[in-house]
Structure formats: structure tokens, C-alpha cells
């Protein structure tokens, strides 16, 4: 179920809306936006640009507003669709946050786009958790995508990240993050999840990634990975070296089993989609897919 709306004009995400609320204009850009209602949540979707269809799926703790720079770059030669996952940005809160729940959000967006008669199957681009969602979606709907671009996620790491030794440190980090989110309440960049919900999701993602290799085996579309060389930062102390080594080992494992997967490493940490948006956009533009 969808509804054309202008209600997603929050915190300056869009400049202006016309009377029927279906379009927003900024310079030479036309943004079409609508909402999807499913599973008790409301998902805001934005649609802009011209060219090859592309769906951009954000990750945990990121919103379509956070991905604005990348979207601006991609819309020059892509018909770009972005959206917020439940509990993020301008999406409504939910009574449950799980990998399957987020996957259902992506599924609902893709189903609606299927009803809107895109000229071709879209390239599905996912960042962090969004990359994992993209792989799972494509493994279940291989004909619905032209190809995948996975940005620093969907990595079959050989070891889990969240061990008992690091749990207290990460719990404190996410509690601090949740406190900082108070300043973003009511804006297009808000995240409504609690620190415990974020912790539980990261534990679940570790389990999901332990079995993700089987998902890749079900996808017969081109796959490009854009990975950070120092996903946990470039410090030579603490947990960062182990995390970074684990991250690289996961990709190397994946490419050994699926040598057709193209991989580009960027000299960056896990924030690469924000700090290196032009480089990420160029790699996506250079990606060859089938229609």
C-alpha cells in the first residue's frame, strides 16, 4: 500500500513541494516521493534522476538524508530510489527491529517499484547492513535486480566481531551514540533504536554473516564490492588491527569461492560512503550490469 505525500519535508531534506505533494523541485531536479505502509510501519521513499534504475539501501544507523551526497552524485546518470529503514530517518518506529524486519522493508520497496513499471531491473546498492539485505534479497529474487554493489557489508568474516571481550566497550559506545541521537529527534537523520536494540542487531548480523556465503551461490548477477581498508580505523592499538584483519580475510574468502566478484578497496574506514562519496559514485558508474 502506498501514498503520494509531501509529509517527508523535514529538516530541510527537500526545498519545496507543489500543491499535490507528488514532486519537489530543486534546480533542474525533480524528486518524486511516496510512502509505503507495510508490517505496521511507514517507509518514506524518494525517486529522482535519469538513467539506469538504481536502488540505494542504507545501513544500520544511517538514513537516506545521511546518504544525500552519494545520491546527488548518482542521480546525474541514474534513476535513483532511496528510502529509510524502520526506526530510521523519516520512517516510523516499529515494535521490533531484526534483520528479517529490515529485509521486509527492502522487500516492500522493491515490490512497489515492480508495480511502477521501471524500464529495467534496478542495480541494488547496499551500504553496511544494507549490503547484507541486498544479498539476501537478490538470493531470493534473482530476476528482480540487474546487479549488486555492496559497500562495506555482506562480508563472510571468519570470526564474529562481537566477542565477550569487546561487548562492554561496544555497549558503552552505542549508549553514547543513543544519547547523541537525542539532538536529531524529529529530523531526517534520527535513529529511534535503543543501544540495546543496536547491540542485539549487531549480534544477529554476526550470525547472518557466518552463513552468507551460501546466499552468494544463489545470485547469478554481477556483483561489485567496495570495501574499506581500515573498517575499524587505522589505529595500530586496541581491537582495530584484529577487526581490520578479520574484515579483509572475509573478502578474500569470498573472492576465492566466487572469483567473478569484482572488489575495490578504498583507503578509508567504515564511514567511506560519507567520506569518499565521489570515489564510491564513480565505481558504481563504472559497474557493468545486465538488463
Mean pLDDT, consecutive 10-residue segments, the chain of 291 residues?
36 30 48 95 96 97 97 96 98 96 98 92 98 98 96 96 90 90 94 95 96 96 97 88 96 96 97 98 84 44
132 with 151: CB under 8 angstroms?
no
- CB proximity list for 255: less than 8 A, separation 6 or greater: 261, 263
225 with 127: CB under 8 angstroms?
no
181 with 191: CB under 8 angstroms?
yes
Cell numbers of 151, please? 559497500
At 237 the pLDDT is: 83
At 138 the pLDDT is: 98
At 289 the pLDDT is: 65
At 19 the pLDDT is: 28
At 189 the pLDDT is: 97
Residue 152 and residue 271: Cα distance in Å, rounded?
A: 9
285: how many CB neighbours lie within 10 A of its CB? Answer: 14
221: how many CB neighbours lie within 10 A of its CB? Answer: 17
Q: Hey, what domains does the chain have and what are their CATH numbers?
A: 2-286 (3.40.50.1820)
Amino acid at each position: 500500500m502506498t501514498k503520494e505525500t509531501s509529509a517527508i519535508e523535514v529538516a530541510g531534506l527537500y526545498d519545496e513541494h507543489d500543491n499535490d505533494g507528488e514532486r519537489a523541485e530543486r534546480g533542474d531536479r525533480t524528486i518524486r516521493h511516496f510512502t509505503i505502509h507495510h508490517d505496521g510501519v511507514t517507509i518514506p521513499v524518494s525517486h529522482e534522476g535519469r538513467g539506469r534504475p538504481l536502488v540505494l539501501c542504507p545501513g544500520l544507523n544511517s538514513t537516506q538524508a545521511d546518504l544525500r551526497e552519494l545520491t546527488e552524485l548518482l542521480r546525474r546518470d541514474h534513476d535513483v530510489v532511496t528510502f529509510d529503514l524502520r526506526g530510521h530517518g523519516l520512517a516510523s518506529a516499529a515494535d521490533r527491529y531484526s534483520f528479517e524486519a529490515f529485509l521486509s522493508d527492502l522487500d516492500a520497496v522493491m515490490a512497489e517499484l515492480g508495480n511502477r513499471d521501471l524500464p529495467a531491473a534496478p542495480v541494488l546498492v547496499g551500504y553496511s547492513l544494507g549490503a547484507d539485505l541486498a544479498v539476501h534479497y537478490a538470493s531470493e529474487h534473482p530476476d528482480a535486480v540487474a546487479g549488486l554493489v555492496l559497500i562495506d557489508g555482506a562480508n563472510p568474516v571468519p570470526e564474529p566481531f562481537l566477542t565477550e571481550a569487546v561487548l562492554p566497550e561496544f555497549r558503552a559506545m552505542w549508549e553514547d551514540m543513543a544519547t547523541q541521537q537525542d539532538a536529531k529527534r524529529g529530523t531526517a537523520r534520527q535513529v529511534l533504536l535503543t543501544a540495546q536494540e543496536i547491540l542485539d542487531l549487531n549480534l544477529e548480523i554476526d550470525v547472518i554473516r557466518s552463513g552468507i556465503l551460501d546466499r552468494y551461490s544463489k545470485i547469478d548477477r554481477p556483483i561489485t564490492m567496495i570495501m574499506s581498508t581500515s573498517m575499524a580505523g587505522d589505529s595500530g592499538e586496541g581491537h582495530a588491527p584484529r577487526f581490520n584483519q578479520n574484515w579483509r580475510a572475509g573478502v578474500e574468502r569470498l573472492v576465492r569461492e566466487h572469483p567473478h566478484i569484482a572488489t575495490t578497496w578504498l583507503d578509508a574506514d567504515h564511514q567511506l560512503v560519507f567520506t569518499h562519496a565521489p570515489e564510491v559514485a564513480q565505481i558504481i558508474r563504472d559497474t557493468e550490469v545486465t538488463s
